Amino acid sequence: MNKDFNHSYWELKRYFRPADLVVAGAGIVGLSTAIAYQLKHKKARVLVLERGVFPEGASTKNAGFACFGSAGELLDDLQNTTHTNEVWDTVKLRWQGLHLLRKRLGDKALDYKAWGGYELFSEQTEWDKVHSALNDLNLKMENTLGLKTCYRPVRAPLNYTKGFKAALLNAHEGQLDTGKMMLALEHLAAKLGINILYNIPVSKILDLSAKVELHTNQGVFSAGKCVVATNGFARQLLHLPEVKPARAQVLLSSPIPGLKIKGSYHFDKGYYYFRNIHNRVLFGGGRHLDFKTEETDRFGLNTAIQKQLQILLKTRLLPGQNFTIDHSWSGIMGLGNEKKPIVKPVSKNVIAAVRMGGMGVAIGSKVGEMAAGLLD
CATH number of 2-61+179-242+338-375: 3.50.50.60
Per-residue pLDDT, 33:
98
Cα 321 to the chain's mean position, in Å? 31
SS3 196: strand
Q: What superfamily in CATH does domain 244-335 come from?
A: D-Amino Acid Oxidase, subunit A, domain 2 (3.30.9.10)
Residue-wise pLDDT tens for the chain (376 aa)? 677 789 999 999 989 999 999 999 999 999 999 999 999 999 999 999 999 999 988 999 999 999 999 999 999 999 988 889 999 999 999 999 999 999 999 999 999 999 999 999 999 999 999 999 999 999 999 999 999 999 999 999 999 999 999 999 999 999 999 999 999 999 999 999 999 999 999 999 999 999 999 999 999 999 999 999 999 999 999 999 999 999 999 999 999 999 999 999 999 989 999 999 999 999 999 999 999 999 999 999 999 999 999 999 999 999 999 999 999 999 999 999 889 999 999 999 999 999 999 999 999 999 999 999 999 8
Contact 21, 224 (CB under 8 A): yes
Tell me: the pLDDT tens digits for 60-84? 999 999 999 999 999 999 998 888 9
Per-residue pLDDT, 376:
86
Q: Above pLDDT 70, what percent of the chain?
A: 100
Q: How many residues does the chain have?
A: 376
Nearest to 334 by CA among 295, 293, 282, 372: 295
Give CA separation, 130 vs 91, 116, 117, 126, 134, in Å.
18, 19, 16, 6, 6
Tell me: the pLDDT tens digits for 76-127? 999 988 889 999 999 999 999 999 999 999 999 999 999 999 999 999 999 9
Q: Is 90 exposed, middle or buried (0-12, 13-18, 19+ CB in 10 A)?
A: buried
Nearest to 331 by CA among 35, 48, 68, 52: 52
Burial 177-189 (b: 16+ CB within 10 A, else e): bbebbbebbbebb
User: How is the chain split into domains, by residue range?
Assistant: 2-61+179-242+338-375, 244-335
Whether the full predicted model's pTM is greater than 0.85, yes or no, is yes
Per-residue pLDDT, 80:
87
Per-residue pLDDT, 2:
79
Q: Is 9 exposed, middle or buried (0-12, 13-18, 19+ CB in 10 A)?
A: exposed
Per-residue pLDDT, 81:
83
